[in-house]
Structure 1
Amino acid sequence: MSGGALSRTERESRLLRAFVELADTLVDDYDVVDLLHRLVDHCVQLLDATAAGLMLSDQHGGLRVVAYSSAQTRMLELFQLQASEGPCLDCVSTGEPVLVGDLSAQTRRWPRFAPLAVKEGFASVHAVPMRLRRETIGTLNLFRRETGLLSDEDLLVVRALADTATIGILQERAIRRGEVVTEQLQTALNSRVVIEQAKGVLAFAGNLEMEQAFHALRSYARKRGRRLAEVARELVDGELRPEDLSD
């Protein structure tokens, strides 16, 4: 069954909530960083995936890691950028999905990335473009510990999630005006930097793992209806103390 041990009814209910959350970006102001983290979380919960990550194009045409479900996923994404090879880069350059059922058979295609991914315990990968019309703004990436491809049903779901999130980021009003839309993308990329700094502050102060620090930061922001980047910046600037987030 897709989505781990979820029953079909539970999976459909979660899937509906996921699309409602993403659709809300079209009618209301929203926190783009939190949106993208929810997107990768939904992918792990709903699909037959071990981990998920998301990259966005910056204003200079490069790729940057913006959201990920685990530190291990972030490491794999960053390694692709450093090695200048991998499924995510191929996906963005072609604008087409890159679906690999057996990473161990791809060492000639990706001589540096494929062995590392296999060593980390991943056996297959699916990279789906975040694309609207002819513009590809990033890629949504699913890593699995089992060989084989996702089911056709799961592929439809991940494509739909990626497409809906893409529309939310670009916003149709700007598209109708024919503008090159970079503001929301750059906001996400810039916010990522200060969030990583805040995670480091929390991790050091509370002797936490980086993922634990991020969850504490995210929980504090959500409970108070605030943006992640705003809370992170206050923490880095000393306006918030690390102990404030444990209240």
Structure 2
Amino acid sequence: MVHELYAAGLGLHTVLGLLPGHRRLAEERVRAVIAGLDGTIGTIHQAGARLAVARSAPVIGALAALPGGVDLSGHLHTLTRHCVELLDLDAAAIVLTGQDLAASGQGAATARELCRLPEGPCHDTCQTGQPVTAADLAVTSRWPLFTAQARTAGFQAVYTLPLSLAGTSLGALALFNASAHEPSAGEVQLAQGVADLAAVVITCDGMLRQRDSLADQLRTALGDHAVVEHAEGVLAERHGISVAAAHTVMTTHSRLHDAHLLDTARAIVDGTADLSDTVRRLR
């Protein structure tokens, strides 16, 4: 039930508040969600590494050993640097939804600027999820703005590969050459292996952030829930009523005074709130 409520868009405070007497169940269900995210992250790491190794053989193997935690910027920069070194490029950039994340090579700064343009191979790959090859920019009229700026910067060839995982398009890997060049099948295979690993890193980063956010919400919600339970005990002892009756008194008082239940609970615990009138009203 907790999972369904949370999936419906209710915050953890609300979920736990809707389930008085079921705190343990709430904790177990939400922790199960967190554990599930951890398991999925591990699966993505393993699957992504296997895919890249299968496609690109030993030369890409070293890149598959991602550590347990994800340093998004650091990993993506490492991947672009390997592309530049292994494929003898002048620059490489990884972009996500139109925004650059990492670039390497002598022309890295220019590559970043080119990837920001509203046209060009990288823009097209991000939009369509398909690879694009421009082996000689001197003979293409497809992207006039991109081509003019790229050639002015000294680039003569560009090819881009999609970043995707489980059918979801995430961005593109853009590779730049200072001379006209048609990539070989082996070069494309190696670059696609790097693109696959980049997709894994980006996906893991998003899932880790989701897991950490959920864990933080859980800790906060459970801490607040403990304050409410403490206040119920104080109120029950102070007025000689049951804990269930104390909860009703607190929720009624909060509603009548347009106050948050947690604020009412804190005021009861620190002795600054007098709920005698509400207790008498409900007896």
TM-score class, shorter-chain normalisation, is: 0.5 to 0.7
Q: Distance in 2 between matches of 1:17 and 1:118?
A: 31
Change (3 A) 1:182 1:110: farther
Alignment pair present for 1:20 and 2:20: no
Larger Rg: 2
Alignment of 1:81-120 (within 5 A): 81=116, 83-106=117-140, 108-120=141-153
CA RMSD of aligned residues (A): 2.6
Output the CA distance in 2 between the equivalents of 1:182 and 1:138: 19
Partners of 1:97 and 1:129 within 8 A in 2: yes
Match of 2:103 in 1: 68
- In structure 1, what is the Cα distance between the partners aligned to 2:90 and 2:105? 10
CA 1:37–1:124: 2 relative to 1, 3 Å:
same
Corresponding letter in the other structure for 1:20:
A
Letter of the 1:44 partner, please give it. V
Count of aligned positions: 155
> Contact 2:95–2:115 (CA<8 Å) still a contact in 1?
no
Aligned to 1:164: 197
Percent identity over paired residues: 31
Tell me the distance in 2 between the aligned counterparts of 1:80 and 1:182: 27
Give the match's secondary structure for 2:164: strand
Q: Secondary structure at the match of 2:169?
A: strand
Query: Where in structure 1 are there 5+ consecutive unaligned residues?
Result: 1-14, 58-62, 175-179, 185-247
The one-letter code matched in structure 1 to 2:113 is: L
In the superposition, the TM-score normalised over structure 1's length comes to 0.56
Q: Which runs of 5+ in 2 are unaligned?
A: 1-56, 211-283
Q: CA deviation at 1:50?
A: 1.7
Structure 1: how far apart are the matches of 2:143 and 2:207? Answer: 32
AA paired with 1:36? L
AA paired with 1:67?
A: A
CA distance in 2, matches of 1:181, 1:31: 13
1:49, distance to aligned residue in structure 2 (A): 1.7
Deviation for aligned residue 1:183: 4.1
* Shift of residue 132, structure 1, vs aligned partner: 1.3
1:146 aligns with 2:156: no
Residue of 73, 76, 80 corresponding to 1:33? 73
Task: Provide Cα deviations, 1:35-89, integer angstroms capped at 9, x if missing partner.
Answer: 00000000011113221111112xxxxx2111111473333332442x4111100
2:122 aligned partner, one-letter code: C
| Structure having the larger proportion of residues in helix | 2
Q: Deviations over 1:190-246 (max 9, x none)?
A: xxxxxxxxxxxxxxxxxxxxxxxxxxxxxxxxxxxxxxxxxxxxxxxxxxxxxxxxx
What is the SS of the residue equivalent to 2:123? helix
